[in-house]
Amino acid sequence: MPDWLVSFVTHPATIVMVGGGAGANARYWFGRAVAEWQLRNFERVAFPWATFLINVSGSIVLGFAAALFLRHPDESRRVWYLLLGTGFCGGFTTFSTFSYETVKLMQDGQMGTALAYVFGSVAVGVVGLWAALKLAG
């Protein structure tokens, strides 16, 4: 394999791009599945479960990636954090969507649901990341 191709494939920007593409694709399919489940089971619930679950599960994945790869003594293993943490989780989690959905709930007069969404997302995301760090050692 030519040196330029090896340099391109192993470059941090390429690794982040591949992880981000996979994360964005996973976000799309996971979000659709949760939205369809929510429509079938809770047609009248306005809570944005798809974004909530994406952000929480992304926090958990990020916790495991950080615990397993950022502190690893072999620096060559840290590239996995670029792929999974920066790339995949960056493409998968949805802070901008979270912000929009919160404002939309507020505009729709659902202040209680908006507050539950904000505090629930932050609290469960932080607890999920903390638990993943603990479980991964």
Q: How many CA atoms lie within 13 A of 127 on its CB side?
A: 6
Positions at the binding site for Na(+): 90, 93
Rounded CA-CA distance 13/82 in Å is 9
The verdict on pTM exceeding 0.85 is no
Q: Taking the domains of the chain in order of start, what are their residue ranges?
A: 3-136
For the stretch 42-53, pLDDT in tens is 877 788 999 999
∠ Cα 41 88 121 (to 5°): 45
For the stretch 70-122, pLDDT in tens is 888 888 888 999 999 999 999 999 888 899 899 999 999 999 999 999 999 99
Positions at the binding site: 90, 93
